[in-house]
Amino acid sequence: MFKISNAIILLLMILVSPARSSPEYLESCSDGRLKNAYFLIGVADIVEVSKFYQRMPEKYFKDIKDITGTIGRRKRTIKYYDFNRYQLLMGDYELFHLTDENLPNYRTERDKIIFKKTLHGSAELRAFETKKYNRSTGSLDRHPLFGLIKRKERSILIDILSSISNEPSENIEPSIEVKHDELVFLLTHYGVMHGEIVLSKFHLESFGIPNTHALLKMEIFGGQQDKLTREEEVNLNGVFCAVYRGFVEQFPNIDPAVSYGYKDYFGLASEILPSWKFFKKNIALFKIGNVMVLSIIGFLLLYIIIGRYQKTHHFRCITVKKDEQ
């Protein structure tokens, strides 16, 4: 009878959960599982979100058996590539160079090229190894993307890109570069990584104007769950769900997303600089515009400095004349 009463109470709690919470997540959390979740943090919430993150290890993870949590900092750079007409963006593809500078006690440095295809909510990944060659033997060695990839793997990526766009694969170029400064709470089980919760401060490079954003990421790594016992898996997924629920209850105004990638950064770029697409295709005009703006600012500063000098000099002259009289 006691168990039945608890089940009824739990069911009622799920049914009366806030309407802003994602039904998909509530359904997945009801059986102790959590899909990856991403929250773009607004300026008004960043302080409280930081406090939530600082309290999180002690509040949610201290009693998990055989699961170790490690906190560290990570510098992450993601450079996305696309064609001039954004065929990858329009087709839900992502091609990016990911570089991580991690604390050596929980993960080695990472440097890889990743092609990602999203289809019906699931993602297929293909990673390409990077290698620096001392001697250039052709145009691909000097290419901003193919020059980073091992020569024997370049033909695979060329075939993939040829199936997406009629443009020559060599026409692909950098699109957006994102710099992340991250706090990482990494969960391991006897040295095997199973997930991480990341609070990231990031900015979009090469815009000529300051921009700073924050992102909370909850990620469970795929392919690792079979290495856990059933009890360990339930505990790990359950505590991830508890963190998720705790966050959406405290911040119901921040909508969750099941992924955060190229399209999302592209949308931010368009908000920061609505004419960004035009300037990206006309880089010379963008540079000329930057030079003109900086020149105008320089002239204004010079005008202010000269004006103040003239006023000071005039005052000194008047003072000297009065002293002479």
51 has a pLDDT exceeding 90: yes
- Which residue has better confidence, 289 or 155? 155
Q: Which tens digits make up the pLDDT trace of 288-325?
A: 655 676 677 777 777 677 766 565 655 556 555 555 55
Confidence (pLDDT) at 225: 61
- Measured CA to CA in angstroms, residue 172 lies from 16, 84, 94, 154, 276 at distances of 50, 7, 12, 13, 18
Q: Taking residues 88-99, what's their average pLDDT?
A: 94
Per-residue pLDDT reduced to its tens digit, 173-197: 999 999 999 999 988 877 778 889 9
- Report the distance separating Cα 20 and Cα 255, nearest Å: 8
Residues in contact with 95: Cβ distance below 8 Å, sequence separation at least 6, in sequence order:
80, 81, 82, 88, 113, 114, 115, 116, 145, 161, 172
108 within 8 A of 102, measured Cβ to Cβ: yes
Q: Contact, 196 vs 175, CB < 8 A?
A: no
Specify the pLDDT at position 181: 95
What pLDDT does residue 14 have? 32
pLDDT at 276 over 80: no
Name the CA radius of gyration of the chain, rounded.
27
Structural contact between residues 195 and 219, judged by C-beta atoms closer than 8 angstroms = yes
- What's the pLDDT score for residue 226? 63
Return the structure tokens found at 137. Answer: 């033997």
Over the stretch 244-254, which tens digit does the pLDDT of each residue have? 999 999 999 99
- What pLDDT score was predicted for residue 121? 62
What pLDDT, on a 0 to 100 scale, did the predictor assign at position 123?
Answer: 76
Rounded mean pLDDT of the chain? 78
Q: What percent of the chain has pLDDT over 90?
A: 41
pLDDT at residue 1 in the model: 44
The pLDDT of residue 151 is above 60? yes
Residues 102-110: what's their mean pLDDT? 64
Of 62 and 170, the structure prediction assigns the larger pLDDT to: 170
- What percent of the chain clears pLDDT 70, i.e. is strictly above it? 71
Measure the CA angle with vertex 14, ends 9 and 17; round to 5°: 120
- Averaged over 44-59, what is the pLDDT? 93
Orientation angle between helical segments 230-250 and 46-56, nearest 10 degrees? 150
* Residue 153 vs residues 130, 166, 297, 308: alpha-carbon distances, Å: 9, 21, 48, 63
Least confident stretch, 17-21, 138-142, 289-293: 17-21
d(CA 159, CA 164): 9
**Whether pLDDT at 163 is above 60:** yes
Tell me which of 303 and 6 has the higher pLDDT: 303
152 vs 105, residue with greater confidence = 152
Mean predicted confidence (pLDDT) in 195-220: 87
Q: Is the pLDDT of residue 6 over 80?
A: no
Residue 16: its pLDDT value, please?
Answer: 36
Give the range among 71-75, 85-89, 278-282 with minimum mean pLDDT: 278-282
Better-predicted residue by pLDDT, 77 or 300: 77
pLDDT of residue 168: 94
